[in-house]
Amino acid sequence: MAQKFNGRTHIIAEMACSHEGDPALARKIIDGAGQAGADSIQFQIWSLRDMVVPHHPDYPMLTRIELSRDVWRELANYVREKFPAMQIIACVYERSSVDFAQTIDLDTYKNHSADLSNPVLINHVAQTNKRIDLSVGASTTGEMQSALEWIGGRDTWLMYGYQGFPTPTSAINLNYMMKLKQLFELPVGYQDHSDANLPAAFWLPAAALGMGVDVLEKHITHDRSYKGIDHEAALNPDEFSRFVEMVREIEAARGHSTPRSFSPEEVKYRKYSKKSLVASRDLAEGHVIAADDLLFMRADSLGLPPDQTERLLNRKVRRPIAAYHLVTEDDLI
């Protein structure tokens, strides 16, 4: 079923490969995401033998950090026990990992942009009938359209991010991201890969949020100073907590588009600041009000606003009105 955002941004904590192949570090990252209040934690689940050719230059490193199916099962249970409200997203790269993820009933699947032109994998994921987060970085709109046709109308979020680590600010192109939202009429998420050591790691997602994204995906690591895999754009747990706090504060500031009653502070401000009609001079009983008898000024209480001037003109004063005092309907005949 399609999710209703209702003004709340879905925050995804992307663990990626920051676990370094160590389940203890993975648990530390999960703790950081859960304690920060992330809506989802994202696992990258893959089978190396089905994903990368043996002579690929990254093969030795990937061999070292690959987590077993049993470990992924334990980590999924760890999330459910400690942070039951936090969903688990499986970023999958081949069919065997989809089949495995089904056995542990993960909440959502992400198709990496590497597989945007892979109908076999996309169709396999679509058959789970779970939401698909479709990563579209470094992809053409034609590739996106084909992938969406293979998905066949199932619940889908478009996940946009520049595939460079860390991403230079000038390369991100947030306007294009919002164009994709308009073009495909789907929820869109911003995958931030900016340098985690720079202020942009916070203000760029804030800018995306202000532009109208529905989802923010942010990398999280156990300790960025470790300078491990996927660390360049990853926040430490304490930073991730501040990130979530920032997002929720922006949501509160954004509010709602529907009219609302004035707050007590606004009522007080209106009484103090809004201008009212006051007498420009002492007005005697029986005097006929003319335009130069009236001034628009702040007063000690709120009276008639200036746009009600016409209602007072050419009317007689019922009782004397002192200069700089309010002129009200009750004062006139």
Average pLDDT over residues 86-113: 97
Burial readout 284-318 (b: 16 or more C-beta within 10 A, e: otherwise): eeebebeeebbbeeebeebbbeeeeeeebeeeebe
| 200, pLDDT greater than 50 | yes
Contacts of the segment 139-142: beta carbons below 8 A, 24+ positions apart: 139/113, 141/180, 141/183
Residue 187: which pLDDT band, with cuts at 50, 70 and 90? very high
**What is the rounded CA–CA span in Å between residue 30 and residue 220?**
9
**What is the rounded CA–CA span in Å between residue 251 and residue 7?**
7
- Average pLDDT score over the chain: 96
Per-residue pLDDT at 256? 84
Per-residue pLDDT at 92? 98
Structure tokens, 243: 């990130």
Q: Which helix (H) or strand (E) holds 74?
A: helix 69-82
**What is the rounded CA–CA span in Å between residue 323 and residue 281?**
4
| 1, pLDDT greater than 60 | no
The segment(s) of the chain belonging to CATH 3.90.1210.10 are 264-331
Per-residue pLDDT at 205? 98
Per-residue pLDDT at 2? 53
**What is the rounded CA–CA span in Å between residue 140 and residue 145?**
9
Pick the CATH number of 10-254 from 3.30.460.10, 3.40.190.10, 3.40.50.2020, 3.20.20.70: 3.20.20.70
Does the 264-331 domain belong in CATH 1.10.10.60? no
**What is the rounded CA–CA span in Å between residue 320 and residue 231?**
78
Residue 195 CA: distances (Å) to CA of 9, 54, 225, 234, 320: 22, 31, 13, 8, 71
| 202, pLDDT greater than 70 | yes
Residues belonging to the chain? 333
Per-residue pLDDT at 321? 98
For strand 188-192 and strand 215-219, is the pairing parallel, antiparallel, or unpaired? parallel
Average pLDDT over residues 190-208: 97
pTM, two decimals, is: 0.89
The segment(s) of the chain belonging to CATH 3.20.20.70 are 10-254
Segment 139-176, tens digit of pLDDT = 999 999 999 999 999 999 999 998 888 999 999 999 99
Place of tokens 């050719």: 53
CB–CB of 44/67 below 8 Å?
Answer: no
Collect all residues with Cβ–Cβ distance below 8 Å to 230 and sequence separation of at least 6.
16, 17, 18, 165, 219, 221
Q: In whole angstroms, how large is the CA radius of gyration of the chain?
A: 30
**What is the rounded CA–CA span in Å between residue 151 and residue 146?**
9
Per-residue pLDDT at 20? 96
